[in-house]
Structure 1
Amino acid sequence: MTEITHRHVESQSGLRMHVAEAGEGPLVLLLHGFPECWYSWRHQLTALADAGYHAVAPDQRGYARTGGPLETGEYSILHLVGDVVGLIEALGGGRAVVVGHDWGAPVAWHTALMRPDKVRGVVGMSVPHRPRSSRPPVEAMRRMFGDGFYMVRFQEPGAPEAEFDGDRAAVFRRLMHGASGDGGGAAWIAPEGGGLLDTVPEPEKLPAWLSEDDIATYVAEYADSGFTGPINWYRNLDRNWELTTAWHRAQVSPPALFLAGDRDVVATGAPHAIETMTDFVPNLRETVWLSGCGHWVQQERPAEVNDALIGFLRAL
């Protein structure tokens, strides 16, 4: 049975990153989203290794065993892309296929956008590539969804992590179930005077793809880092808009693949972005929709995701 091993790697960005890895061969980086860590790729690490690849899933900046700096401004998209490029260099240089889910998808897309010389191919899951908008995003989201929308609420100092760090097991149970194909979806708009978790009920039982042991693993992985670092990613949304002026409406040139669940409100809520993605990702090879699947695609449908990834990798 293929073994997943763990170590810390000194990324050339200056961040000491925890990575889980398996296999030997061409490098495939697996970038998790919120609120996850390396563990969300547990099914892909071994499958990719068995297919002849060096699969590496880091805990990204601010997350789990990597942790991160205290300054909010050190979580910009330039820092996140820098970590990925620095990790590619630390793992032998050359080029990698960069795969990202949820928040990891924009990091993967931007790595391919900013450093195509380091990227053999790019895979986005759940979050399509979106060109830079014409105005800062936070105020636009506030006007569209209100002050209770989670990305707007995450701008507040201290309050979001106080809610999320209060009962981490409940956070993972509620969010994983609520945003999955088995849940009823999550509005992610806090009621007046309430919290974000009020929008996601405690599940009566966990879906088949998620166990109490999985929840306990996530809780243990967050034991030292908590939620401040992950939420700091959201606090840089407007700053990211300012920092990416030079790439306004630029194209992602490496070969690309997009995967999403047809019950994922993140993906289904952005039909125009997906329909027009080839305008800005001209080498998009395929868009794969997973029927009955929600947001946590690589955990909900590991076999189908593994087949799509390996097929894409072998075609490069």
Structure 2
Amino acid sequence: MIASAPSAEQRRADVPWRSPESYPATGHIRKRAVRANGLDFPVLEAGNGPLVLCLHGFPDHAQNWIPFIDRLAREGYWAVAPALRGYWVGGAAPDGSYRALATGQDVLALIESLGAEHAVLVGHDLGARAAYAAASLDATRVRKLVGLAVPYGKGLTTAFVADGDQQRRSWYMFFFQTRLAEMAIQLNDFAFLDRLWREWSPGYVLAASDRSALNETFGQPGVLTQALAYYRQLFTPPSDPAVQALEALASGPIAVPSLYLHGTEDGCMSAQLSEGMETMFTHGLERVVMPGLGHFLHLEQPDAVLRHVLRFLRS
């Protein structure tokens, strides 16, 4: 399905969007730590109602979900954006794992620690991988699933090996395997990350205050190395047979009603990689390709993305 751009009437009908830097540190956006799976996860939350977990990716952090969770809260949901493991001082993985299995287990543990029977999962990039793994591991805890910008299934792994276009887009993953990565990323006030944002979302410019907040996250002791561990463990299978079995389960079919959104101008992941992923979703998948949007589509055109999400949640 190819989505059309929102009409002027639709845009005027929307509640005005506010960028993350316009939100105060206190108020209706609440901050706290939630103990789950051996970690104290910093979370941002708003509203009351059915639980919606919003999971960030790389190079990003939970703060950029603030406008999204604010809008979800005003629509009657309890919206929570946790930091992924490793993205705060003291947040290093207790078991050393930054694999999709571990982050999926974190998501399920967070749902339980928040006192909910189940949750809607909205995941972008690495957050989408965590959402897929959680739904594969225990579909009873996931009411609905929304994936953004990173598809699901074996097609993505195949593309890393056989698709020259995707190999070019994924150059950063291979560079992250080297010992030069930490030094290169931090040079010139994290100019490396600026380059990724420009390449992945052409035409979108992160606000200066948001860029500063993001650099502050990756400048915390240990955080950058922990974030890179997600990629350094990506291509190496676990040696423990028990973990291998769990990873097979965490990458299996998903029995949860799902929505997938991808931008046509995504410079990180080709939208074509999501073609055919419907076979992995036994309870249905709606796939929407959004014209003119890049990798950070929920920041580039948040009203349009939120409309798709709300329509899906209410269906």
Percentage identity across aligned positions?
A: 33
Name the SS of the counterpart of 1:304 in structure 2. Answer: helix
Is 1:68 equivalent to 2:92 in the alignment? Answer: yes
Bigger drift between 117-126 and 60-69 goes to 60-69
Unaligned runs of 5+ in 1: 183-206
Deviations 1:268-299 (A, max 9, x none): x352x422111111333422222211111111
Q: Aligned equivalents of 1:213 and 1:32: distance in 2?
A: 18
Cα RMSD (Å): 2.9
Residue 45 of structure 2: aligned partner: 21
CA contact (8 A) 1:258 1:287 kept: yes
User: Counterpart in 2 of 1:196?
Assistant: none
Contact conserved, 1:62 with 1:69, CA < 8 A, in 2?
yes
Q: TM-score, normalised by structure 1?
A: 0.80
Between the aligned partners of 2:186 and 2:94, the Cα distance in structure 1 is 17
Offset of 1:139 from its aligned partner?
7.0
SS at match of 1:265: coil
Match of 1:234 in 2: 231
Q: Does 2:148 align with 1:125? A: yes
Q: Distance in 2 between matches of 1:45 and 1:106?
A: 20
State the distance in 2 between where 1:133 and 1:212 align: 33
The amino acid across from 2:220 in the alignment is D
More divergent stretch after superposition (302-311 vs 221-230) = 221-230
Counterparts of 1:43 and 1:65, CA distance in 2: 24
User: What's the counterpart of residue 57 of structure 2?
Assistant: 33
Q: CA deviation at 1:69?
A: 3.7
CA distance in 2, matches of 1:248, 1:56: 23
Of 61-70 and 94-103, more deviation after overlay is shown by: 61-70
Aligned to 1:170: 191
Q: Is the 8 A contact 2:176 2:231 kept in 1?
A: yes
Partner of residue 84, structure 1: 107
Task: Give, in angstroms, the shift of residue 238 of structure 1.
Answer: 3.1
CA distance in 2, matches of 1:222, 1:150: 16
The answer for unaligned runs of 5 or more in structure 2 is 1-22
CA contact (8 A) 1:122 1:254 kept: yes
How many residue pairs are counted as aligned between the two chains?
Answer: 282
Shift in Å, 1:76? 2.2
Tell me, yes or no, if the aligned pair for 1:99 and 1:124 is still in contact at 8 Å. yes
User: For 2:157 and 2:211, how far apart are their aligned partners in 1?
Assistant: 40
Rounded to whole Å, the distance in 1 between the matches of 2:133 and 2:251 is 12
Q: Give the Å deviation of 1:43.
A: 1.9
Contact 1:132 1:248 in 2 (8 A): no
- Which residue identity is paired with 2:206? L
Q: Which amino acid aligns with 2:299?
A: Q
1:224 corresponds to: 220
Equivalent residue letter for 1:255: P
Q: What's the counterpart of residue 287 of structure 2? A: 287
